[in-house]
Structure 1
Amino acid sequence: MKIKYNFAFFDEGSKREIRRATLKAVSIPGYQVPFASREMPIGRGWGTGGLQLTLSLIGKKDVLKVIDQGSDESVNAVNIKKLINRTTGVTTTDNTHEASLIQSRHRIPEVPLEENQILVLQVPLPEPLRAVQPSEYVTKRLHAENEYSGAWLMLFEQIVKFGKVSTGADHPVLVHDRYVMAPSPIPRFDNPKMNYSKALILLGAGREKKVYAVPPYTKVKSLAFEDYPFEVEDVHSKKCRLCGSSGAYMDEIIDAKTGETSFQCNDTSYCLSKLNNQSVLKASALDINRW
């Protein structure tokens, strides 16, 4: 028996409530807006916040792309894509250029986003001050007072201990010169992509019941000291073993038999597009040689 759902799973009242929270988040860049997080058919911590944002915003004409840690074909990405597709019937794609709505976990696509696109990021821990202050009441007051010495202290302790800032992911950012924000567990490599992004970026935390946003063309600056400037991971010295690209965020692959190390583009769609372009160029060269 086929079960019938309302379009995009949620009832219309739930969608309106999430949209109101989203509108407030867009109006106050970087500010964490509470919302009534719903129960979802996936476990909390696996993308319920981003999924709720997507389901509240998606329309029948949208083209959807879902990625999880750079992959379009991971178990989590495939299952979320199936849920949205079965309750909306919208077109899905693996091509970043074609998508109007992109839901992602832990990555921002390598391909630069455009004005007609919305990127939804799933966030496990939205509070950048939680490591230094466990009280929600106190962190809200610190945000109101623009008091972010705790975030700076975390970075300073890393410098004292390791000689450099050692954040691998979720490096805090200052949005619109006002709110310090946790940019989801994206690698430092992706932080600069948020600065004056053409696309609307929405971040949702289902377990923590928060939504916040970076509107298009908004200043986003990664926290850093003058004598220890912000630096992304070294990617230019690495080449993808499949497409040969450099300058993209890479996964390190270790051969279990030989112990040899190689690298591969983390964004599988980006890697595939590079391979397809190379195939087209080779085919064109063969045609020219025939003539």
Structure 2
Amino acid sequence: MSLASLTKDWAATSYGFLDASAKRELRRKMLKAIAVPGCQMPYASREVPMARGWGTGGLQVTLTLVNPASTVKVIDQGADDGVNAASIRRFISRVSGAAETWDTLSASIVQSRHRVPEEVMREDQILVLQVPNPEPLRGVEPNMSIARQMHADADYGKLWLTLYEQIVRKGRIMQGAAYPSMVNGRHVMTPSPIPRWDVPKLNMAKHLTFLSAGREKRLFAVPPFTRVEPLVFSDRPYQVEEHAHLTCRRSGLSGYFMNEIPQDDGGSTFEVSDSNLGIKAIQQVEGVPTEIGETWYRDGEYSA
């Protein structure tokens, strides 16, 4: 046996950009995250060709999962055509040979910033959420050593107190995006800055979800068919954004999460946040054969 027989030909980068050691570590941490749902797992976040805070955590998880048979969809606040989404999707495709898509139904991996697609994801799909701040206790306990101990003791009293104070002062819970949620009855997580509208989509979902923060070097997971329960008081039910009565100006869809578009006259119009769902609806109206999958919400009511 010679040294040459144990080495590969020189290449500019490893397959999928990350080296084998980085992928091995990420896979170990991803398996641990699945075994302990909602629990944060530290990892050595590697440098990738984009700035910290722009999705490096989600990108590293996707690069670890992707293979030449994968089909990748990347969305930025619901849109497939945003600069960040398009750049990440193109980069993943170039370093892995994976196919690109805008269609949720066609994707095997969906990487997202701030949204969960409106169409229900299947068992054979993986959702990767980019997370800027993975620590739900940071707002109530800035000392991370103490916060880690609070997680170990399942001591979430300060979070409950914060929600109670919001009700006392404002009459309702004001927490919007990144609503703290109990995973599998044990660990509280921050489900990325997704809106309250999207949190129920993670509860008992068929798909696997990874949430990764590259800047903070933490990842956690929600395995399929795992309970994800927003922290609420028994006499104050969980409420999502009131978008049921809004109609998309482009597609005519209603009953889904909308983006507000301010107008020069001081008013507002609305567009469905899941841009590809809107495109599909327009194509159907125009007579183009298009499949729209089952959606989590119908007429503004969660129904999945």
User: What is the alpha-carbon distance in structure 1 between the residues aligned to residue 202 and residue 75 of structure 2?
Assistant: 17
Match runs of 1:179-218 below 5 Å? 179-218=187-226
For residue 62 of structure 1, what is the aligned residue in structure 2?
70
Q: Does 1:110 align with 2:118?
A: yes
Stretch deviating more after TM superposition (157-166 or 67-76): 157-166
Provide the secondary structure at the position in 2 that maps to 1:202: strand
* 1:16-55 superposed matches below 5 A: 16-55=24-63
> Residue 282 of structure 2 aligns to which amino acid in structure 1?
L
Counterpart in 2 of 1:166? 174
Alignment of structure 1 residues 89-238 onto 2, 5 Å: 89-238=97-246
Question: What amino acid sits opposite 2:165 in the alignment?
Answer: E
1:271 pairs with one of 278, 281, 286 = 278
Kindly indicate whether residue 235 of structure 2 is the aligned counterpart of residue 241 of structure 1: no
AA partner of residue 15 (structure 1): K
Question: Is the Cα contact below 8 Å between 2:67 and 2:97 reproduced in 1?
Answer: no
SS at match of 2:287: helix
Corresponding position: 1:77 with 2:85:
yes
Give, in angstroms, the shift of residue 281 of structure 1. 7.6
After TM superposition, the score normalised by the length of structure 2 is 0.90
- One-letter amino acid of the counterpart of residue 71, structure 1: A
3-state DSSP of counterpart to 1:236: coil
Q: Compute the displacement of 1:161 (Å).
A: 1.8
Comparing 180-189 with 160-169, greater Cα deviation is found at 160-169
TM-score by length of 1: 0.93
Distance 2:16 2:84 in 1: 18
Q: Distance between the aligned counterparts of 1:222 and 1:73, measured in 2? A: 31
Report the CA distance between 1:260 and its aligned residue: 3.0
* In 2: Cα distance, 1:43 partner to 1:156 partner: 37
Q: 1:19 to 1:281 in 2, by over 3 A?
A: closer
The unaligned stretches of length 5 or more in structure 2 are: 1-10, 290-304
Contact persistence 2:41–2:220 (CA under 8 A):
yes
Q: Give the Cα separation in 2 of the matches to 1:84 and 1:157.
A: 44
Q: Which of structure 1's runs of 4+ aligned residues deviate more than 4 A?
A: none
- What whole-Å deviation, never above 9, does each CA across 1:15-51 have from its counterpart, x for those lacking one? 0100100000001000000011111211111101100
SS in structure 2 of the partner of residue 203 of structure 1 = strand
Q: CA RMSD for the aligned pairs?
A: 1.3
Shift of 1:244: 1.2
Q: Secondary structure at the match of 1:46?
A: coil
Secondary structure of the 2:106 match is: coil
How far, CA to CA, are the matches of 1:46 and 1:281 in structure 2?
35
Distance, in Å, in 1 between the alignment partners of 2:254 and 2:93 is 34
Aligned to 1:287: none
Residues 216-256 of structure 1: CA deviation (Å, up to 9, x unaligned): 01011111112221100011111111111111100011222
Aligned with 1:77: secondary structure? helix
Unaligned runs of 5+ in 1: 283-291
Q: Secondary structure of the equivalent of 1:270? A: helix
